[in-house]
Amino acid sequence: MTTLTAPSDGAKSPDGKLHRSLGLWQLTLLGVSTQIGSGWLFAVLSSASVAGPAAVLSWIIGAVLFIIVSLTWIELGTLFPRSGGIVRYPALSHGAFAGWVTGWGYWIGTVCLPAVEAQAVLTYLGGRYPHLQLVRIDSGTTVLDWPAGILGGIALLLMFFVLNLFGVRLLAKVNTWVTVWKVVVPVATFILLFSAFKGSNFHAHGGFLPTGPGGIVHALAIGGIAFGYLGSRQVLDYGGEARNPRRDIPLAVIGSILIPMVIYLGLQIGFLGALDWQDAGLVPGDWAGLTSSDWASSPLFSALGAAGFGSFATVLLIDAAVSPAGNGWVTLGSAARASYAFGVDAYAPAPLAKVNRYGIPWISLITALVVSALFLLPFPSWYQLVSVVSAGLVLSYLMGSAILPVLRRTAPDLPSTWRLPAIRLWAPTGYAAGLFIVYAAGFSALVQLLIITFAGLAVYGAYTSVRSGWVRRGTGWTLSTAFLVAWIVVTVRGGWFMHIGGAQRPDGWDFPWYMGAMVATVALFLAALRAASTAEGRRHLDAGVWLIATLLAVLTVSHYGAFGPLATPPLGEPYDLLAVVALALVSYQWAVRSGFRTEQLDRALAEECPAPPNRPAADMVNPHSGG
């Protein structure tokens, strides 16, 4: 068993090098700012295209679901305030393997976000000034064009990078003023749109529920609503830099959901009421046509212009650059902290944890910049990338509901300033809500996410398990290389990966063959890695198998459910949702039972309560083992 040596002084831990300079107001604004980015510019049209007027209900339901999902994370954030905490917490309860899978999926989702915001800026500008050749239409979807659009996106990412490089205090000061602007402009926008309100849009064109109850659910993810609420996680990502995390994190998380909810509701109602079907080039009632309409590249700008507020529409155009950019530089910093967490917890090379004199993990920041730029190429459309990002980030969110019950069992004496009541109710409910949102992202987004997430298993086998001493280097590299080659072959033959429009290529495998190949490839790799591992390595693998099984199961339900590619799905509504709830309850019980007292938990406890110089660190942690 590999022994981790706990630091004798909390200040000597990597988190001690970060600057704790963020107060309650700044933490809340970090969460609010990242939710009023590109989401408010596009999500009102995207969600209306899926649910029609019922998108109003989707925003309310989305806020409730995210508050429920966040409850366990609030307690975790007050117990262990850590930068990049969402990446680091799973290892405390379920070990390195589950920590790697969720951390990798979260990092992929987070590192995509700056690219999403850069796309939003250029899509709005490109729709208003077509001569710039920033965007083009491909298969009915607005995508970034080459070279102006792609290179413009990279230039914006470089601007985000520079702002992050010189410290979190500078970032917070700039973000405070930008967030005030980002709140004032949307509020003024929906007030103006109310003056052009047409009540008939809410009942005359297919009624209030033109796509049925399923539209309300689907709008949560594919319509951009889940994406709009994901910014509350920024509070946890910057937790290691908060001055008083145990007091401020709970208030900041809840506030960063409720404030955007009020703004988004006003915008959604205002947009629906001001929708001019003729100006958008659509037949009245063609809700699905909104994403390929004349309004698709600049929805609110077009709505204001049609309502007679062309002068204010210019202000909105300025905000179309400011709002996503303000989100982009915060999320690039968040992606850097997720990379930093990988370096701290030995999931990736240690240099990722290095910080500069401003307290910024600069190597991680460079890594986030490069990878984010790559996502401008295969996913050049905001409408395509947002559902993948939403699924990836919500996937990591649901882990909190499994982590907290395990920590209460394995370390029952943990001090807490905020303790979630009725955990036996809220933890499984939060888990089901999180899995529900992941499912609602749709099959295309899920399959993209799982292809990328499972490819990361090769890194776990070749680096993490080898560095931990659980697998010999030659064996780990050989198994991981063979798995990655097989995974690429299966992915290419499947025909779903990075295909514009989200459809399968005509020559792709039928789903049963594709799913069988996916399951076989992953299962054989994990079985071989387990056989080659030490007893401790097997323990970590065994504690995370439930997560792999859950992801493959929800992908199967997604394909045959109402949000899959089949014209007549065998699991139509509401049977698909019942299947997801049943899957969530089984998965939750499996997840909680799989947790154990990890070395990462002992180390975290030693950092929070460092031992006196002459007293062993082991005496400072609870001796009971829940494994």
What pLDDT digit, counting tens, does each position of 552-571 carry? 999 999 999 988 888 899 98
CA distance 222 to 386: 7
The answer to whether residue 264 scores a pLDDT higher than 60 is yes
Query: Token match 């439930």: residue?
Result: 546
Q: Phi and psi for 567 in degrees, rounded to 5?
A: -65, -40
Confidence of residue 89 (pLDDT cuts 50, 70, 90): confident
469, 2 contact by CB (below 8 A): yes
Please report, for residues 466, 579, 603, the alpha-carbon distance to residue 345 in angstroms, rounded to integers and kept in the order given.
Answer: 14, 36, 10
Tell me what the mean pLDDT of segment 242-265 comes to.
Answer: 83
Can you spell out the DSSP letters for 351-396?
A: GGG---TTS--HHHHHHHHHHHHHTTTT---HHHHHHHHHHHHHHH
Q: Which residue has the higher pLDDT, 271 or 113?
A: 271
Per residue in 458-484, pLDDT tens? Answer: 999 999 999 999 999 999 999 999 999
Cα–Cα distance for residue pair 192/194, rounded to 1 Å: 5
Report pLDDT for 9.
Answer: 37
Alpha carbons 187 and 525: distance in angstroms, whole number: 52
Name the DSSP letter for residue 288.
G
Q: Residues of the chain with pLDDT > 90: what percent? A: 26
Amino acid at 294: D
Is the pLDDT at 346 greater than 60? The verdict is yes
Indicate the range of 156-165, 294-303, 335-344, 425-434 predicted with least confidence.
Answer: 335-344
Of the CA atoms within 13 Å of residue 373, those in its CB half-sphere come to 16
Alpha carbons within 13 angstroms on the beta-carbon side of residue 537 total 22
Phi, psi (deg, nearest 5) at residue 18: -80, 155
Distance between CA atoms of residues 410 and 93, nearest Å: 8
| Confidence label for 540 from pLDDT (cuts 50, 70 and 90) | very high
Indicate the pTM of the whole model. Answer: 0.78
Per-chain mean pLDDT for the chain: 81
- Sequence-distant (≥ 6) Cβ neighbours of residue 66 within 8 angstroms: 226, 229, 232, 257
Residue 350 has pLDDT above 90, yes or no: no
pLDDT of residue 21: 60
Q: Could you give the residue ranges of the DSSP H alpha helices within 195-232?
A: 213-221, 225-229
pLDDT category at 10 given cuts 50, 70, 90 is very low
- 297 pLDDT band, cuts 50/70/90, is confident
Q: Tell me: the pLDDT tens digits for 365-385?
A: 898 889 888 877 766 555 566
User: Which comes out higher in pLDDT, residue 350 or 200?
Assistant: 200
H helices within 21-54, ranges in order?
Answer: 24-35, 39-51
Rounded distance, CA 167 to CA 181, Å? 22
- Name which residue leads in pLDDT, 23 or 148: 148
Task: Using the predicted structure, report yes or no on whether residue 175 has a pLDDT greater than 80.
Answer: no
Quickly state the pLDDT bin for 231 (edges 50, 70, 90).
Answer: low
- DSSP classification of residue 137: E
517: amino acid identity, one letter = A
First to last CA, the chain: 15
pLDDT at 617 over 70: no
Residue 61 makes CB contacts below 8 A (sequence gap 6+) with 216, 220
Q: What is the 3-state secondary structure (H, E, C) of 14-25?
A: HHHHCCCCECHH
Least confident range from 19-28, 347-356, 573-582: namely 19-28
Decide if 225 contacts 436 (C-beta within 8 A).
Answer: no
| Residue whose C-alpha is closest to residue 102's, from 514, 493, 516, 434 | 434
Q: Which of 382, 99, 345 is nearest to 227 (CA)?
A: 382
Q: pLDDT band at residue 606, thresholds of 50, 70 and 90? A: confident
Q: What is the rounded distance in angstroms from the CA atom of residue 594 to the CA atom of residue 626? A: 10
Would you say 390 and 221 are in contact if contact means Cβ atoms under 8 Å apart? yes
Residue 494's pLDDT is 92
Give the pLDDT of residue 11. 39
pLDDT of residue 580: 93
Mean of pLDDT values over 567-588: 91
Q: What's the pLDDT score for residue 548? A: 95
- Beta-carbon contacts of 625 under 8 Å, excluding residues fewer than 6 positions away, are 410, 596, 597
User: Quick one: tokens of 49?
Assistant: 């295209």
**Confidence check: pLDDT of 29 > 60:** yes
Higher pLDDT, 599 or 594: 594
Q: How confident is the model at residue 2 (pLDDT cuts 50, 70, 90)?
A: very low
Rounded to an integer, the average pLDDT of 352-360 is: 78
Residue 625, pLDDT above cutoff 50:
no
> Can you give the pLDDT at residue 8?
36
pLDDT at 524 over 70: yes
What span, in angstroms and rounded, lies between the C-alpha atoms of 374 and 388? 15
Question: Would you call 177 exposed, middle or buried from its count of C-beta atoms within 10 A (0-12, 13-18, 19+)?
Answer: exposed
Predicted local confidence at residue 620, as pLDDT: 39
CA atoms of 475 and 460, how far apart (whole Å): 13
**pLDDT for residue 124:** 73
Strand, coil or helix: 238: strand
**What's the CA gap between 122 and 153, in Å, rounded?**
7
pLDDT at 295 over 80: yes
- Most confident by average pLDDT, 44-48, 201-205, 500-504: 44-48
**Mean pLDDT confidence for 298-322:** 81
